[in-house]
Amino acid sequence: MTATTDGSTGALPPRAPSASDTDHDTPPTAGVQDAAARAVRRATDFLLSQQDAQGWWKGDLETNVTMDAEDLLLRQFLGIRDEKTTRAAALFIRGEQRPDGTWATFYGGPPDLSATVEAYVALRLAGDDPGAPHMARASAWIRERGGIAAARVFTRIWLALFGWWKWDDLPEMPPEIIWFPKWMPLNIYDFGCWARQTIVPLTVVSAKRPVRPAPFPLDELHTDPGRPNPPKPLEPPTSWEGAFQRIDRLLHGYHKVALKRLRKAAMDSAARWIIERQENDGCWGGIQPPAVYSLIALHLLGYDLRHPVMRAGLESLDRFAVWREDGARMIEACQSPVWDTCLATVALADAGLPADHPQLVKAADWMLGEEIVRPGDWAVKRPHLPPGGWAFEFHNDNYPDIDDTAEVVLALRRVAHHDPERVEKAVRRGVRWTVGMQSRNGAWGAFDVDNTSPFPGRLPFCDFGEVIDPPSADVTAHVVEMLAVEGLSHDPRTRRGIEWLLAEQEPSGAWFGRWGVNYVYGTGSVVPALVTAGLPAAHPAIRRAVAWLETVQNDDGGWGEDLRSYPDPAEWGGKGASTASQTAWALLALLAAGERDAKSTERGVEWLAQTQREDGSWDEPYFTGTGFPWDFSINYHLYRQVFPLTALGRYVNGEPAVLKAQGR
């Protein structure tokens, strides 16, 4: 076991189910099949009880305390921070602090410097005394790790807004980038949609360089308060890093001499771009980070807080707040109703719920109403492609995504809807749009076509997270599975996707998971897709995947994988405490591969049945979702329900309901 940066091993002990969690009513001698069937019934009842009256499902989307800290900093910057919000946010942030004074970005993970800096500053805004034990532990740890100077760029931007960091010591991103044509390197469409929506408003902030009066000093977070901003040494000019560092220095020089009229025109163009992409609910892209930066940018350009754009934007942020029974307030980075609803529909149908069940029909009605039939930013690369996809969130018409579209089609095909013609037309549009979004290599990314430029990630500005949207195995697998269900297994475009997937298999037999943790998710996505598309269970790629899953199964019968498998796959790939969602992903692959009667499958099913709670749900504190591999992790609170129910349903009932309906 390798040591983490804080000197600990970073090992995660498996979380044993407590007496209150486990199902005591199942006799020890009951067969696996009986235990699974009972678990399916209870999980079905639980999931049905969670549906909203409008037809959708949505679990909490838990990330880390930087969301909460930045929400408070935004309110401080705009002059709208109130006591109730501050107190509730601070209660949540304090509750996430660990005994050593730090904060992590996922459950059981190592301490994170930037998260700890931002959480500390937020608690100071809330009035916590820097001399209090919990604050002193945090500031001491921050200094030991290099202080504010070692934090990520985005953290230092937030601090620069209040004079706690110098704008001159931040990477420059000029607003004139908004004018770069799409053929030019580093144009805004070279960035992934989430990055472009964040960078455009930040170019305005970078140009304006605002400083609000700091409510207190932060000397205790610098290793040398007398010289808090040590210069970073230049890399060799022949390296990419060195070249971009020198470009950044040129941009800093340009900032001082830029023509005021030209710069104002660029910022006005950026403002128009931002406003045109505000959604009907006031948010931007359905995610919190672009919203907060867009509000700051527009405010700096003179938009009053009472302006309809600003008012709607601020109101949208309140909808990202989850208020807990203890009075704490957690901010979601995003909301996932379309994704959760299509996955819940698949789970319930595969668990044996009748296709015409009223709650499935209501879910289908809601999903049909969420179809996006107007062009978005994806049309920059596909201007002649007719629209017809689904987004992840309640409102995100500019950025439908391929993963959601594929899964919504798979969900709709499981429902006996009262208006089959409406379903058919929606599915046809979704399939056409998805096929049209195929990248040159035959695979699919999440939001854009061929979003693979090597340059954005090399910018000094982009030192955090993934900033491009290349094709991934998990998204491609979901598309291939959907196309196969639609009878397009032999379509040349589907075959190209299959060939890409086979070429992307890791030497271990697993597949990398871009949007879920990690190799267990990738493998659990790809194997069912390949089998649905016609690959026999005896195919060498399928057998290698099965062998890998069996080697990484935990002693307790479940599967788990820690997020550290992203930076350290050799040590952590397929390894971690057993979780309900990851155990289900492994079972989905094994069942698709014909391993229903295998001992590994039975042990996994037994683990799910034994760890189910009395109310039919599962507990899962571990983060198994991925925003950016390693840098930004997600705990989808509904994953622990929908995926176990899907796996157990297929174990009890056989192949997916959609294949049975087609007589396959």
Q: Of 17-21, 385-389, 447-451, 504-508, which gets the smallest average pLDDT?
A: 17-21
Mean pLDDT taken over the chain: 92
184-199: per-residue pLDDT in tens?
Answer: 999 999 999 999 999 9
Using the predicted structure, report yes or no on whether residue 378 has a pLDDT greater than 50.
yes
Using the predicted structure, report yes or no on whether residue 24 has a pLDDT greater than 50.
no
How far apart are alpha carbons 270 and 176 in whole angstroms? 9
Domains of the chain: 66-331 (1.50.10.20), 336-435 (no CATH), 471-664 (1.50.10.20)
Average pLDDT over residues 283-307: 95
How far apart are alpha carbons 342 and 364 in whole angstroms? 8
How is 336-391 classified by DSSP, letter by letter?
-HHHHHHHHHHHHHHTT--TT-HHHHHHHHHHHHT-B-S--GGGGT-TTSPP-BB-
403-412: per-residue pLDDT in tens?
Answer: 999 999 999 9
Q: How confident is the model at residue 664 (pLDDT cuts 50, 70, 90)?
A: low
Task: State percent of the chain over pLDDT 70.
Answer: 94
Q: What is the dihedral of CA 575, 579, 584, 585, to 10 degrees?
A: -40
Q: Looking at residue 400, what is its pLDDT?
A: 97
Burial code (b: 16+ CB inside 10 Å, e: under 16) for 511-536 equals bbbbbbbbbbbbbbbbbbbbbbbebe
Q: Of 297-301, 363-367, 453-457, 486-490, which gets the smallest average pLDDT?
A: 453-457
Average pLDDT over residues 515-541: 98
Is 84 exposed, middle or buried (CB count within 10 Å of its CB: 0-12, 13-18, 19+)? exposed
Residues 6+ apart with CB under 8 A from 662: 485
How far apart are alpha carbons 639 and 617 in whole angstroms? 11
Using the predicted structure, report yes or no on whether residue 271 has a pLDDT greater than 80.
yes
Q: Looking at residue 316, what is its pLDDT?
A: 93
Residue pair 585/636 in contact by the 8 Å Cβ criterion? no
Q: Of 240-249, 337-346, 390-399, which gets the smallest average pLDDT?
A: 240-249
Using the predicted structure, report yes or no on whether residue 21 has a pLDDT greater than 50.
no
Question: What are 19's two structure tokens?
Answer: 């007496």
Q: Of 1-15, 426-440, 630-644, which gets the smallest average pLDDT?
A: 1-15
Nearest to 578 by CA among 21, 202, 166: 21
Using the predicted structure, report yes or no on whether residue 619 has a pLDDT greater than 70.
yes
How far apart are alpha carbons 518 and 508 in whole angstroms? 13
How far apart are alpha carbons 192 and 175 in whole angstroms? 18
Question: What are 268's two structure tokens?
Answer: 């006005």
553-607: per-residue pLDDT in tens?
Answer: 999 999 999 999 999 999 999 999 999 999 999 999 999 999 999 999 999 999 9
Tell whether the torsion through CA atoms of 169, 170, 171 and 174 is positive or negative.
negative
Residues 6+ apart with CB under 8 A from 218: 121, 124, 148, 159, 164
Catalytic residue among 71, 190, 350, 403: 403
Name residue 278's beta-bridge partners.
284
**pTM for the complete prediction?**
0.92
Q: CB count, 10 Å around CB of 436? A: 17
For residue 626, the SS3 value is strand
- Amino acid symbol at 85: T
Nearest to 275 by CA among 315, 317, 318, 307: 307
- Amino acid symbol at 616: G
Q: Looking at residue 464, what is its pLDDT?
A: 81
Burial code (b: 16+ CB inside 10 Å, e: under 16) for 334-360 equals bbbbbbbbbbbbbbbbbbebebeeebb
Nearest to 347 by CA among 5, 59, 128: 59
Q: Is 403 a catalytic residue?
A: yes
How is 419-478 classified by DSSP, letter by letter?
-HHHHHHHHHHHHHHHHHT--TTS---SSSSSB--SSGGGSTT--SS--SB---HHHHHH
Using the predicted structure, report yes or no on whether residue 235 has a pLDDT greater than 90.
no
Q: How confident is the model at residue 238 (pLDDT cuts 50, 70, 90)?
A: confident
